Amino acid sequence: MTAPTMSGAARVSAPPARRSRLVPQLTGWGFVFPATLVIVGLSLFPAVWALLLSLRDGDLLTGGDFVGLANYRDMLGDAELAASAGHTLLYTVLFVPGSVVLGLALALALNLKIRLIGFYRTCFFVPYVVSAAATGILSNFVFDPDFGIVNAGLKALGLPAMGFLQDPDQAMLTLVAISLWGGVGMPAVVYLAALQDIPRELIEAARVDGGAGRHVLRHVVLPQLRPATVFLLIWQTITALQLFDLVYTTTKGQPLDSTTTIVFYLYRQAFQLFHSGYGTAIAYVLFIVTLAVSGAVLWRGAK
């Protein structure tokens, strides 16, 4: 009679112990589950679905036939894709160093103790929070060859009018200028935060040792800004490789396809020509290239 009584007592004491361990776990999962559901639903599932779609020749309306790696092989002989890659590379080479250097110069200027510094910082950061679509629509008016304010200013100075977004030789350069105007606020803010984290003792010690302003900048300030520079190079490179909205709202890849970037080209393939399999294959190759470039910059910055 004794043994069944002890066993029953153990069974009675076990549930509260399990409940005490289970309640924190369920509470944690309760907080994590909504974010997990969003990540799986909006990121992982579409990524896996797109990978499967890149192996087919579907048109977004029908599944299409399984073609394996044929879409990836077709990319090797696509002259338009090669031209789009060249346009994207040109934009990246001009935009990334330009935005980082301008951002550093702005941050150094905005780090000075002058009157109305908060107002100046706000003025330089506001264009960054404006959507690229709004920036593109505004740019169509500003750079209009006939009625734009920029050509009006050039004519007032006695200079010839420019074609800007309607000239194949100037369209990409104009997009770079627009992007720098709208995107330089991000590097400026990051550099400004990094500058304010540099210990004042380092700068004062360099000056006591006889270092001039440019020597202090080169040997003390810039090395301290290296983590911020690596972050900005990766961030701006990803932004440049994914250029789409500004192209869509200004040139739509024209004139003469001189501003067709890789993302705009894959958009055209997937949603205008309904070559969804080929478009997703381009997207996956772009993802791999972006990952490789970011890894290379991170590895180089860590050395």
Summarised one tens digit per residue, pLDDT across range 137-154 is: 888 888 888 888 888 898
Q: Where are the alpha helices (DSSP H) in 111-225?
A: 117-129, 132-142, 149-156, 171-183, 185-197, 200-208, 213-216, 222-224
State how far the Cα of 248 lies from the Cα of 271, in Å rounded to an integer.
Answer: 13
Which residue, chain included where needed, has tokens 């990978």?
A: 51
Q: H/E element holding 221?
A: none
Query: What dihedral angle (degrees, nearest 10) is formed by the CA atoms of 199, 205, 207, 212?
Result: -80
For residue 147, what is the DSSP state?
A: T
Q: Using alpha carbons, select from 259, 294, 274 the residue that is nearest to residue 91.
A: 259
Q: What pLDDT is recorded for position 9?
A: 47
Q: Using alpha carbons, select from 193, 236, 4, 255 the residue that is nearest to residue 98.
A: 236
Helices and strands counted in the chain (H then E):
16, 0
Q: Using alpha carbons, select from 278, 244, 276 the residue that is nearest to residue 261.
A: 244
Q: What pLDDT is recorded for position 83?
A: 94
For 167, the token pair is 């000239």
Q: What pLDDT is recorded for position 13?
A: 52
221 close to 230: Cβ distance less than 8 angstroms: no
Q: What pLDDT is recorded for position 5?
A: 47
Instruction: Estimate the share of the chain in helix, then strand, then coil, as percent rounded to the nearest 5.
Output: 75, 0, 20
Q: What pLDDT is recorded for position 22?
A: 76
Q: What pLDDT is recorded for position 94?
A: 94
Q: What pLDDT is recorded for position 4?
A: 46
Q: What pLDDT is recorded for position 81?
A: 93
Measuring CA to CA, how many Å separate 236 from each of 92, 218, 222, 225, 239?
8, 23, 19, 16, 5
Tell me: the pLDDT tens digits for 178-195?
999 888 888 999 999 998
For 282, the token pair is 């381009």
All residue ranges of the chain with pLDDT < 70 are 1-19
| Three-state SS at 56 | strand
